[in-house]
Structure 1
Amino acid sequence: MKKITLLTFFFTCSLLVNSQSYLGFLTDNYSGVHGLISNPANITDSRFKTDINLTGLSAFATNDYYGINIWDTTKDGYSFDLEAKTHPKDINSGGLNVDVLGPSFMFNLSKNSSIAVFSRARAFVNAYDINGNSIAVIDDDSTRDFAFNEGSINVLAHSWAEIGLTYARTLIDKDQHFVKGGVNLKYLQGLGNVYGSGNNISINYDADGTDLGGGETTGSITTTGTLTYGRFDNFDNDDYDYKTPKNASGFGVDLGFVYEFRPDHTDYDADESSPYQFKDKNKYKLKLGISVSDIGFINYKEGIKEGYAINNNNVSEQDLETAEDIEAFLNSFYTKTIEGVGYKIDLPTALHVNVDWNLNSKIYLNLNTDFSLMSKERITANRIANVVSLTPRYESKWFSFYLPLSVIENNGLRMGAGFRAGPLYVGSGSLISSFTSDDNRQADAYAGLKIPIYQSQPKDKDGDGIVDKLDDCPKEPGPESNNGCPVEDKDEDGVLDDVDECPEVAGPEDNNGCPWGDKDGDDIIDKLDACPDEAGPIENKGCPYRDSDGDGVLDKDDDCIDQVGTVANNGCPEEVMEELQKTLNDFARVILFNPGRATLKTESASVLFEIISVLNEYPNAKFTIEGHTDSIGSYELNQRLSEDRAFAVKAFLVKNGINPGRLSAIGYGEKRPIATNMYKAGRAQNRRVEINLVK
């Protein structure tokens, strides 16, 4: 009896919920005509000349009340009632989505526009605000009686067919920025609809509450609350002779745009008149799509809508069983509060945002969001579940593979898999998670066949990287600069004539095919000559030596480049050299040694570094380091000590960067005192190291 079907529909529909169709497959650039489902802009600038879908089916069902282990269901004796996990909440939800893409095709009108014609059949079931505790009470096998307060409930089932026309075209194609847009216009035919909404509903069922006499009893039902009930005009026929609803039609619209970021656009840009436009290649690094689908409604002009106050005590279950139909039962035992003909069912309007990242030529990562624009409280509207999915995929012309990972409203994380192999596409958005979970509450699958006619890959017979359609010499390799034709090399120097600045005379490539010259005649070729227009020695890289101050001492030998000096003073004036000698003498007096030894005291290091700084200011000057002692001790010992101390100073200077060729060291022992050795103060002055400029 259909009335039993309806009651079952009202109170057990929480086993289902809906979601996106063809999850994973729609992100594929080779999904062809299917691309218009998520975004009508997808069909232009596609990888297809033509794509013909023969048939495709996508079905999705899930709920947040029952959970099962799929493997357990294959065992003998499995009991769904006893072994399924339940998750009762004050508000459970569910629904169903079936999407059939019938014969459909797309083709290109021009370089910048495409068109598609499609047929589609769809069915939705939405169930919201179901009290899961009520289901748990009904499922309790320990007693036949039950009582529960359902509160509110919203249930909607709807199916319809679509015939649509899609137009899409390129809107912007400028350098690295590419934008296309599209629209689906759909004629809608309603195939059937029923909905119910209840408020403050309570039900008390007593299995033996009605005495039929003769010792027989039947159940009694006590209910309270209000119920709104709508259905298409042929729904209550018990003969199940289905007929398409009368006067149930409407129109729908889908709008979409796609932006592509093409940083390598110069590899694909071709002249407008070019016979080849690289249609066979994905040219983007990042793609962003945004669309709004299913704007519109179906008007069931002869649909029936009624409302009832269902406040009644001890209604016999036998009365329900023997009633002609649900409407007759409701009218007999409850008070009708609303009565009318005609209502509209809104399509599941939704916003879709899609981001596709091209990691390399065949590996992609896709982020997709489907967001319902319909409220759950709208009882005459279909609604998709909100979904966010992340799908890595391998994609090529004849084969693609997807691993969608998604989070669905009210049902958490799921993982699926799918593939496309030429004309066949098969997949599921929850295949992996369904078989790995012991509390699975969802299942979906899709499959179909099509006839894809891909954009052809260009031929390049001579392998010069220029496709034959753009190659003036398709059988001979040549550079792009010569339109694919080979370039001569008359002088056979390995530099082709189109870039050879001296095509008649052999020359190296790094001189653009011309021989190197020697303009200044200094026997250094211009390639190696730092001053190709002035003669100079090879040791100065072909440049002449300068004498900036004109004192006859070249800058390379002049310690005072900006001051006129003498050759004897390495280009410095006499007073400068006298000042230099005085500075050195002042420093040398505080070079200290350990008593009776040639080792420098630690505090002498800072003085010696000051001396090094002064010597570096005169890089061409030479110096003598002289060691002296007092007369205390033997003559031989003093001579050796003075020499050792002079060489110790020289070693320190050389170690810290002074060229040893600029230094000489000598020891004079006690031969050259500068004070008397009779007194202590005089002896202290005689123990010294001097650094003298060599003139």
Structure 2
Amino acid sequence: MKKISILLVFIMGTFIMDAQSYLGFLTDNYSGVHSLISNPANITDSRFKTDINLGGASVFGGNNYYGINVWNASRNGYSFDMEAKINSNGTNSALVNADILGPSFMFNLSKNSSVAVFTRARAFVNANDFDDASIAAIDDDSTRDFILNEAQLNVLGHSWGEVGITYARTLINKNKHFLKGGVSLKYLQGFGSAFVTGTDIYVDYDADGTAFFGGETTGSITTSGDLTYARSAEFDNDDYDIKLPDHANGVGVDVGFVYELRPSYKDYKTKDYSPYNFKHKNKYKLKVGVSITDIGFVDYKDAVNETFDVNFEDLNQDDYEDTAEDLGSFLNSYYIRTNTETGYKIDLPTALHLNVDWSLSNTIYLNLNTDYSLISKNRITANRVSNLVSFTPRYESKWFSFYVPFTVIENKEFRVGYGFRAGPVYAGSGSILSAFGSDNNRQADVYAGVKVPVYQNGPSDKDGDGIYDKLDNCPKEFGPVSNNGCPIKDQDNDGIVDGEDACPDEVGPEENKGCPWGDKDNDGILDNVDECPELAGNEENNGCPFKDTDGDGVYDKDDDCIDQAGSVANNGCPKEVIEKLQNTLNNYAKVIFFNYGKSTLKPESSIVLADIITVLNEYPNSKFVIEGHTDSIGSYELNQRLSETRANAVKNYLIEHGIDPTRLSAIGYGEKRPIATNMYKAGRLQNRRVEIKLVN
């Protein structure tokens, strides 16, 4: 009896468990569908295309009354009674948590939303206000007798299953700020539940308290106080058939948000390339998640809820063992039932979660997680998680992660564990390192499972041109960014790619969009240099026709008489003007004087030459010949050279004073062309002359 009682108290009253399942693993960005356990928003914008959990379990256990050395306890001959350490805590509260994630999967609906379907089985045992003295009395091996005296006592056991769906989507994606939210809706099926609550419970067990004839004895039990015992309809059955309660179900809700600070957001955008296409990478420097999980209850409509006055003296132990099939039948057989109700609701272990994740590099992260129960310890019809703070450094990569959680829970216990993920396998413990390193360890937990992960891949670039295939117009052909990833083609080889060439089959300049220049007026001058593209003109006039003001067929540029019609032979001037011009020049030429026997001009000739220059400038398009003549005095050869030098002397003078040299020519005739007889002095004077004649 005593050892059974010790076991009952140990199981129901002294275990204390962690609030969070899969401690350490849930901080991993590659935890996949598991991540919805702590925050449903986690499943969108994840590192997975899909993630399928085949099966995994997380079981937590501990003891805040007994402490052991795990290494010593694993050896043969270990004595629990002698070697376990006793920790006095006054009153002892407890929690047991088993969490099984069954077949579950998640997948992406779009670049901004994801969905998951999951199955889950869970079991909790909450116990509060077990007194140290009661446990010590039961554990006293010096006697079989014991006394329990509990002013307040409550114990709750509950197990249930969940079938749920999670939806999450991106809410804000604006440069460095990213926010996503998610919600899980869960159908709950109760597997079974029971709770016991008592006030001023007194139990006095005397191992030899009842005597029989012949000197034999058996134990006797004296009890007092008020006790409430509630249980689902099938809880007291002893046939071990697995049968779910007929009317035990409910609905649960999880809701959460995740904010990410992405200071390097530009690294994940190329043109219109959205961050969705970089889902294979974590993009945040800081991630903060907030969630509330397990809002809801399981309604056991057919459950039995009974209250008893347990005042009874000297209950025969043999009678108890012979008649009591279960606790309910025992209470109804020997105690007075003071109240009976049908049905009750068991609240889920509602909790607030805050998770902060800091990225030191692409693979090294620091995580701070807090879980805070929103259920009071004194609420008997509710499961409850323990409050905790956990700090977890981790190494994280696509196929392997490793994490070391450091955890402080509400009873001030500190523990250290480790876990890992290697592709489809994950395993770990939140307390294994501290469990093996302490002589007074009261913690134990472990988790493991197998999944099928299908990871997001980076954007592909099949042709290796640096342009991702989703942006590449020619994903199988190498091409530059300027041509959207397609090779540059230039059929006419004019240096302008076909995509920008308005005339891909004809050679043309870039400024005309790759097309050849035209010649609208057919004057042989291309339109791009033709100042009069619609009027036939001349090349020397930039494609424009020359003017002919007087209409004499001589363009103004060649016409010495622009306002007077003339002939081509006379440079556009009428005959009368030409005759007048020639007479004027002849008159001026008669008074050009040279030093005797020389080709140097006399000073007084400069006045005449100035007048000649004025006349020549009036006819800019006319050409002139300067003729030199001599008399017959002297040798023929000498006279010839003298006439030539004098003609050139006048020409050079005119050129030096601004006349275009192309308009002038000079020739010497010597004594060949006399205009008077050389026999007399007067005649010879007339023959020594210079004449300026109009050529055309």
Scaled by the length of structure 2, the TM-score of the pair is: 0.67
**Deviation, structure 1 residue 324:** 3.2
* Other-structure match for 2:196: 196
- The aligned counterpart of 2:95 is 95
Distance of 1:261 and 1:435 partners within structure 2: 39
Could you say if the C-alpha distance between residues 270 and 197 of structure 1 is closer, same or farther in structure 2, counting changes exceeding 3 Å? farther
Assess, with a 3 A threshold, how the Cα gap between structure 1 residues 286 and 222 changes in structure 2: closer, same or farther.
Answer: same
Tell me the distance in 1 between the aligned counterparts of 2:64 and 2:483. 68
The 5-angstrom pairing of residues 280-291 of structure 1 reads 280-291=280-291
Letter in 2 for 1:390: F
Structure 1: segments with no counterpart, 5+ residues: 491-502, 505-695
SS in 1 for 2:89: coil
SS at match of 1:470: coil
Residue type of the alignment partner of 1:170: T
Separation (CA, whole Å) in 2 of partners of 1:313 and 1:275: 75
Shift of 1:4: 11
What aligned pairs does 1:256-335 form with structure 2 within 5 A after superposition?
256-269=256-269, 277-325=277-325, 326-335=327-336
Q: Which residue does 2:432 correspond to in 1?
A: 431
Aligned length: 490
After superposition, the C-alpha distances for 1:459-495 in whole angstroms (9 at most, x for unaligned) are 345666543433457678887566567999x9xxxxx
Residue 198 (structure 2) pairs with residue 215 (structure 1):
no
Q: Secondary structure at the match of 1:348?
A: coil
> 1:384 and 1:215 mapped to 2: Cα distance?
52
Q: Which amino acid aligns with 1:412?
A: E
For 2:199 and 2:270, how far apart are their aligned partners in 1?
A: 65
Q: CA 1:37–1:6 in structure 2 vs 1: closer, same or farther (change >3 Å)?
A: farther
Aligned equivalents of 1:108, 1:138: Cα separation in 2: 56
The whole-number CA distance in structure 2 between the counterparts of 1:422 and 1:289 is 25
Partner of 1:342: 343
- The equivalent of 2:505 in structure 1 is none
Within 2, Cα distance between the matches of 1:273 and 1:475? 19
Within 2, Cα distance between the matches of 1:226 and 1:484? Answer: 83
**Does the Cα contact within 8 Å between 2:180 and 2:258 map onto a contact in 1?**
yes
What is the CA-CA distance between 1:13 and the residue it aligns to? 1.5
Are the structure 2 counterparts of residues 197 and 456 from structure 1 closer, same or farther at C-alpha, using a change threshold of 3 Å?
Answer: same
What code does the residue aligned with 1:436 have? G
Distance of aligned partners of 1:274 and 1:42 in 2 relative to their CA distance in 1, 3 Å threshold: closer
**Does structure 2 retain, via aligned residues, the 8 Å contact 1:42–1:182?**
yes
What SS does structure 2 have at the residue aligned with 1:397? coil
Change (3 A) 1:169 1:12: closer
Amino acid at match of 1:307: T
What is the CA–CA distance in structure 1 between the aligned matches of 2:31 and 2:379, rounded to whole Å?
33
Is 2:180 aligned against 1:180?
A: yes
Q: Which amino acid aligns with 1:382?
A: N
Q: Could you say which residue in structure 2 is the equivalent of 1:252?
A: 252
Contact 2:407 2:415 in 1 (8 A): yes
How far does residue 280 in structure 1 lie from its aligned partner after superposition? 1.0
CA distance in 1, matches of 2:395, 2:7: 44
CA contact (8 A) 2:147 2:205 kept: yes
Give the aligned residue type for 1:103.
P
2:95 touches 2:386 (CA, 8 Å); kept in 1? no
TM-score scaled by length of structure 1: 0.67
> 1:410 Cα shift?
1.3
Cα separation, 1, equivalents of 2:274 and 2:387? 45
Secondary structure at 1:469's aligned position in 2?
coil
1:13 corresponds to which letter in structure 2?
M
- 3-state SS in 2 of match to 1:185: strand
- In structure 2, the partner of 1:17 is 16
Alpha carbons of structure 1 residues 275 and 322: separation in structure 2 relative to 1, 3 Å = closer
SS at match of 1:151: strand
Deviation per CA, 1:305-357: give whole Å up to 9, x if none. 11112222222212221123322321233222221110100000000000011
Q: Distance in 2 between matches of 1:197 and 1:113?
A: 46
Aligned partner of 1:414 in structure 2 is 415
2:155 maps to 155
Relative to structure 1, the CA distance from residue 460 to residue 272 in structure 2 (aligned partners, 3 Å threshold; closer, same or farther) is closer
Cα deviation, residue 275, structure 1: 11
Paired position in structure 1 for 2:380 = 379
- Residue 271 of structure 1 and its aligned partner are, at CA, apart by 5.7
CA contact (8 A) 2:6 2:135 kept: no
- Is 422-431 or 195-204 further displaced after alignment? 195-204
Evaluate the alpha carbon distance shift between residue 39 and residue 400 of structure 1 in structure 2; reply closer, same or farther with a 3 A threshold.
same
Q: 1:251 to 1:6 in 2, by over 3 A?
A: farther
> Is 2:240 the partner of 1:240?
yes
How far apart in 2 are the matches of 1:356 and 1:112? 22
Alpha-carbon distance in structure 1 between the residues aligned to 2:95 and 2:214: 44
Q: Distance in 1 between matches of 2:224 and 2:85?
A: 30
Structure 2 unaligned spans of 5+: 494-509, 512-696
- Partners in 2 of 1:150 and 1:469 — Cα distance? 71
- Between the aligned partners of 1:65 and 1:483, the Cα distance in structure 2 is 71
Shift of 1:431: 1.1
Residue aligning to 1:359 = 360
* Superposed structure 1 runs of 4+ greater than 6 Å apart: 3-7, 273-276, 475-479, 485-488
Q: Which moved more, 1:478-487 or 1:237-246?
A: 478-487
Does residue 169 (structure 1) correspond to residue 142 (structure 2)? The answer is no
The alpha carbon displacement at 1:272 in A equals 5.6
Aligned pairs for 1:110-149 (under 5 A) are 110-149=110-149
Confirm or deny: 8 A CA contact 1:39 1:290 kept in the other structure: yes
Cα shift at 1:10: 5.7
Q: Does the CA-based 8 Å contact 2:43-2:106 persist in structure 1? A: yes
CA deviation map 1:55-105 (0-9, x unaligned): 011100112111111111122211112211111332112221111111111
- Indicate how the Cα distance of structure 1 residues 271 and 226 shifts in structure 2: closer, same or farther if over 3 A, else same: farther
Query: In structure 2, do the counterparts of structure 1 residues 147 and 227 end up closer, same or farther at CA, with 3 Å as the change threshold?
Result: same
Deviates more, 1:463-472 or 1:291-300: 463-472
Q: How many Å apart are 1:11 and its aligned residue?
A: 6.9
Cα-to-partner distance string for 1:121-177 (whole Å, 9 max, x where unaligned): 011111111112211111111111122322211111110010001111011111111
Higher CA-based Rg: 2
Structure 2 vs 1, CA of residues 117 and 270 (structure 1 numbering), >3 Å: closer, same or farther? farther
Secondary structure of 1:467 counterpart: coil
Kindly provide the CA deviation profile for residues 152-207 of structure 1, in whole angstroms up to 9, marking residues without a partner as x.
Answer: 11111110010001111011111111111011000000001111111212222111
1:237 to 1:473, Cα distance in 2 relative to 1, 3 A: closer
- Separation of aligned partners in 1, 2:143 and 2:5: 24
**Residue 620 of structure 2 aligns with which residue?**
none
Q: Which amino acid aligns with 2:447?
A: Y
In 2, the alpha carbon distance for the partners of 1:7 and 1:177 equals: 56
Residue of structure 2 equivalent to 1:683: none
Partner residue, 2:44: 44
Fraction of identical pairs, as percent:
64
CA distance in 1, matches of 2:291, 2:422: 28
Structure 1 pair 8–226 and aligned structure 2 pair: CA distance change class (3 A): farther
CA distance in 1, matches of 2:216, 2:112: 78
CA distance in 1, matches of 2:132, 2:114: 49
Q: What is residue 577 of structure 1 aligned with on the other side?
A: none
- Structure 2 distance, partners of 1:75, 1:4, is 22
Q: Is the CA contact (8 Å cut-off) linking 1:349 and 1:374 kept in structure 2?
A: yes
Aligned partner of 2:21: which letter?
S
Give the match's secondary structure for 2:321.
Answer: helix
- Once residues 181 and 257 of structure 1 are traced to their aligned partners in structure 2, the CA distance between those partners, rounded to angstroms, is 4
In 2, distance between residues paired with 1:177 and 1:33?
24
**Structure 1 stretch 408-417 or stretch 455-464: which is displaced more?**
455-464
SS of 2:173's partner is: strand
Q: Aligned-pair distance for 1:267?
A: 1.3
Task: Say whether the 8 Å CA contact 1:292–1:350 is kept in structure 2.
Answer: yes
CA separation of 1:179 and 1:481: change in aligned 2, threshold 3 A: farther
How has the CA–CA distance of structure 1 residues 244 and 266 changed in structure 2, closer, same or farther, with 3 Å as cutoff? same
* Contact kept in structure 2, 1:176 and 1:264, CA below 8 Å: yes
Residues 485-496 of structure 1 mapped to structure 2, 5 A cutoff: none
Compared with structure 1, are the counterparts of its residues 275 and 355 closer, same or farther at alpha carbon in structure 2 (3 Å cutoff)? closer
